[in-house]
Amino acid sequence: MPFNFSGKKMLVTGAGKGIGRGVAIALSQSGCKVYAVSRTKSALDTLVEEYPSIVPIEADLCNWDDTRVIIEKLEALDGLVNNAGIGGHDYTALECPRDYLCKLLDNNLLSAINCSQVVAKKMIEAKVKGSIVNVSSIGGLASFSNALPYHVSKAGLDMATKQLALELGPHGIRVNSVNPALVTTPMTQAYIENAGESVFIERCPMGRIIDVHEVVDPILYLLSNHSSMVTGQTHVVDGGILSNITVKI
């Protein structure tokens, strides 16, 4: 499916690497003006070196007030991809400390809500009918061990998607989530190497780990007019994992 975002303006968070970087590049290649946010300057530098039209924004999205100041300076946008986030599986549910829980909520949930508030208000003021896509996880729909804060943050993001879709729909703004399973990104590479690839694919009917482009394409679809009546939805990209309750027999 061809995507043409010529003349569009979009913000992508967590754009330094992984899914966010893939989205930023794909949008730029399709004619979009891309604002790429990352807290890592070196990652932004290499991104802009490869794609000079991308506008880099170095920011820590966990800083609520500073983030609002930065985004409010931008022009009205046509789209937002809330991709910034971190993993977290260091404590059991009974031992997870408050600070760790708050860290995951700040990174994975509150930062997305904050960015969405500012971007959506500017869309409404400019009468732009845009699209917001939240990069969630199957971790918002099912659980695995030692990941209480991660699951809570992603489940909360899915509900924020529905709430924003409800309230922004009358303004012509759509809001959806994309919920992938494990994707081959720098953040997940250590998990794969430590546990072994078979652990992650034994319940996957498709028999492999997801490539970045297989998540990027659904995000582009949700940003585009091809999904003009799709909103408030969670779009699972998991190779069938959630359909399977057994290990190989």
For residue 154, indicate whether it is catalytic. Answer: yes
Write down the catalytic residue from 9, 35, 154, 221: 154
At 36, which amino acid appears? A
CB 23 within 8 A of CB 37: no
For residue 121, indicate whether it is catalytic. Answer: no
CA angle 41, 30, 220 (to 5 degrees): 80
Write down the catalytic residue from 8, 33, 150, 221: 150
Residues annotated as catalytic are 150, 154
